[in-house]
Structure 1
Amino acid sequence: MAQQIVVVGLGNYSIDELPMGVYRKLQSVDTVYARTLEHPVINELKDINWKSFDSVYEKHDDFINVYTEIVDTLIEKAETEDVIYAVPGDPSVAETTTQLLLEKFPNVKILGGKSFLDDMFRAVNIDPNDGFTLLDGTNLSETTLNVRTNTIITQVYDQLVASDIKVTLMERYPDEHEVMIVSNARLGEADVITCPLYEMDHHAELSNLTSLFVPKILEEHQMYNDFQYLEHTIDTLVSEDGCPWDKVQTHDSLKRYILEEAFELIEAIDEEDIDHMVEELGDILLQVMLHASIGKKEGFFDVREVVQELTSKMIRRHPHVFSDQEANDIEDLNRIWQSEKIKEGKVEREKLEKIFADYFLKLYDKTKLEGLGEDGLKEFINKGDLTI
């Protein structure tokens, strides 16, 4: 019969901060399992028989497999005995093994332990009421970052983890953005190194007691690569207090511009000019954003609905990527695509857009081949013979 697993927090730093109830629980058993022995409290409690999982870290290339093995081992032990499992800090804060245990085992108790967050806030001198995001450095992705709030990143164990964190952060933050490496935060004290983001993995003072503080971006120009900031910018232009031209546009009045911008993108592609491509792709995105902003102003839809519809469609129509269907060749892909369209209720219709596209590309090639300028192209079209 399954017993109980008690997850106890060792606090943030020293034995002085260890609650008496936690101390008594640790003393009540023959063996205490510890995620790691690298903690000041463990160094001081030498009379306890600690059994650590430090060796598990050497067996795996990623942390989720480390945590999974630890949890599976604890659950196996709990089949025959009550288990005391010690982790740094507060078991409920930034501790993946606790969350996995709660998901997998029916009888888990959480006991005490001071979180590192209080000392972290003091070390970097911020008020948590100002808002912050707490992220795990071993499982960081660009999609989890929010440059509008302060961010605390935990588990900055070593240079390798720090390098991965740096690369991810530099996707959203300027290279020179100032960050703070905080180690050994305790009792109002901490070892703090302030440096540019691009240097954060150059410092040797990294350990399992190290976290990273990333201040929110304050300069507007540093927000220019942020999608929400783009949405806000276009909404401002289209608003009643916005640009005289933008605010009077309609879906109908904008139709020609999507064609113009598509033509300019084709030119940039043919020129193999990457900078020009970036500019023209931005102009096409502008058309999407303008239509979405007009839709929002009129109360019909906004850009999130556009993004949601696109994402949903791509996942539905690619079950060979996002589900368990197989596609071995183009015929399979076409079959899957058409099958999903039928499920969506799409009906076959005349593909006028394909005819227009074919004709436009032929006309485009002719203008390039014959070196037609504006006047030459107008003359060709005005002749009325559109056979190419």
Structure 2
Amino acid sequence: MAQQIVVVGLGNYSIDELPMGVYRKLQSVDTVYARTLEHPVINELKDINWKSFDSVYEKHDDFINVYTEIVDTLIEKAETEDVIYAVPGDPSVAETTTQLLLEKFPNVKILGGKSFLDDMFRAVNIDPNDGFTLLDGTNLSETTLNVRTNTIITQVYDQLVASDIKVTLMERYPDEHEVMIVSNARLGEADVITCPLYEMDHHAELSNLTSLFVPKILEEHQMYNDFQYLEHTIDTLVSEDGCPWDKVQTHDSLKRYIIEEAFELIEAIDEEDIDHMVEELGDILLQVMLHASIGKKEGFFDVREVVQELTSKMIRRHPHVFSDQEANDIEDLNRIWQSEKIKEGKVEREKLEKIFADYFLKLYDKTKLEGLGEDGLKEFINKGDLTI
């Protein structure tokens, strides 16, 4: 018969912060299971029979497998005994094993523990009421980052984890963005190192009591690579207080520009000019954003609906990537693509856009090396001697 698992929080630092109830609970059993022995409270309570899971960390290449093995072991033990399981800090804050236990085991009790967050806020002098993001450094991805709020990243165990965190952060933050490495935060004190982001993994004094504070971005020019900032910029241009040209544009008046920008992108591709390609891809994106902002201003749609429709279509039409279908060759791909289009209720129609594209590309290939100016190109087209 399954017993109970009590997850006990050891607090953020020393035994001075340990509640009496938690202390008594630890003293009441023969063995206390600990996620790690690397904690000041454990060093001070040497009379307790601690059994740690430190060796599990050496068996696996990623933390989720470490945490899964720890949880599975605790559940197995709980089949025959009440289990006391000790973790750093507060068991309900930034503790993955607690969440896994709650998902997998019916009788889990959470007891005590002071979170590191209060001491962290004091160490970096921020008010959490201004907003912050809390992330696990061992499971960090670019999609979880929000550069508009202060961010605290936990579990900065060692230099390898710090390096992975740095690389991920540099996808969204400038290399020179100042961050703060905070260790041993307790009782209003902490060891704090302030350095540029690109240097954060150069500091060897990292431990399981180390977290990273990443201040929010304040300089507007550092937001130029942010999609939401782009959306705000284009919305401003087409607003009634915006640019005299942009605010009077319509879907109809913009039609020709998507063709012009596509032509310039093709030129950049042929020239193998990466910088030019980046610029022209931006100009094509500008056309999408202008249409979306006009749709938003008129109350019909916005760019999120465009993105949602595109994402939905790509996932739906690629079940061989996002689901369980298989595609071994182009024929399989075409069959899957057409099958998904039929499911969508798409009505077959004349593919006029393909004819226009074929004509344009043949015209482009025939004239691109001729050095023709505007008048020369018009004269060539007016001859009408190009067939497809």
Length-normalised TM-score, structure 2: 0.99
* Residue-by-residue CA offset, 1:293-336 (whole Å, 9 max, x unaligned): 01111111111111111111111111111111111111111111
- Equivalent pair of 1:8/1:22 in contact (CA under 8 Å): yes
- Equivalent pair of 1:10/1:113 in contact (CA under 8 Å): yes
* Residue-by-residue CA offset, 1:159-214 (whole Å, 9 max, x unaligned): 00000000000010000000000000000000000000000000011000000000
- Equivalent pair of 1:183/1:209 in contact (CA under 8 Å): yes
Distance 1:300 1:24 in 2: 63
Distance 1:52 1:328 in 2: 48
State the 1:16 CA deviation.
0.3
Distance 2:147 2:109 in 1: 36
Distance 1:144 1:154 in 2: 14
Distance 2:342 2:172 in 1: 39
State the 1:103 CA deviation.
0.7
Task: Give the 3-state SS of the residue equivalent to 1:133 in structure 2.
Answer: strand
Q: Where in structure 1 are there 5+ consecutive unaligned residues? A: none
* Residue-by-residue CA offset, 1:268-290 (whole Å, 9 max, x unaligned): 00000000000000000000000
Length-normalised TM-score, structure 1: 0.99
Matched, 1:199 2:199: yes
* Residue-by-residue CA offset, 1:140-163 (whole Å, 9 max, x unaligned): 000000000000000000000000
- Equivalent pair of 1:13/1:39 in contact (CA under 8 Å): yes
- The number of residues matched between the two structures is 388
State the 1:24 CA deviation.
1.0
Larger CA deviation: 259-268 vs 347-356:
347-356
Distance 2:32 2:348 in 1: 67
State the 1:384 CA deviation.
4.1
State the 1:372 CA deviation.
2.2
Distance 1:347 1:328 in 2: 27
Larger CA deviation: 120-129 vs 322-331:
322-331
Distance 2:76 2:288 in 1: 54
State the 1:124 CA deviation.
0.1
Distance 1:331 1:3 in 2: 57
Distance 1:69 1:179 in 2: 33
- Equivalent pair of 1:367/1:373 in contact (CA under 8 Å): no
- Equivalent pair of 1:35/1:85 in contact (CA under 8 Å): yes
Larger CA deviation: 260-269 vs 368-377:
368-377
* Residue-by-residue CA offset, 1:216-269 (whole Å, 9 max, x unaligned): 000000000000000000000010000000000011110000000000000000
- Equivalent pair of 1:90/1:115 in contact (CA under 8 Å): yes
Larger CA deviation: 341-350 vs 147-156:
341-350
* Residue-by-residue CA offset, 1:6-52 (whole Å, 9 max, x unaligned): 10100000000001111111111111100000000000011111000
- Equivalent pair of 1:4/1:107 in contact (CA under 8 Å): yes
Task: Give the 3-state SS of the residue equivalent to 2:180 in structure 1.
Answer: strand
Task: Give the 3-state SS of the residue equivalent to 1:363 in structure 2.
Answer: helix
- Equivalent pair of 1:137/1:161 in contact (CA under 8 Å): yes
Task: Give the 3-state SS of the residue equivalent to 1:241 in structure 2.
Answer: coil
Q: Where in structure 2 are there 5+ consecutive unaligned residues? A: none
Aligned to 2:121: 121
Aligned to 1:216: 216
- 5 Å-filtered alignment, 1:106-117, equals 106-117=106-117
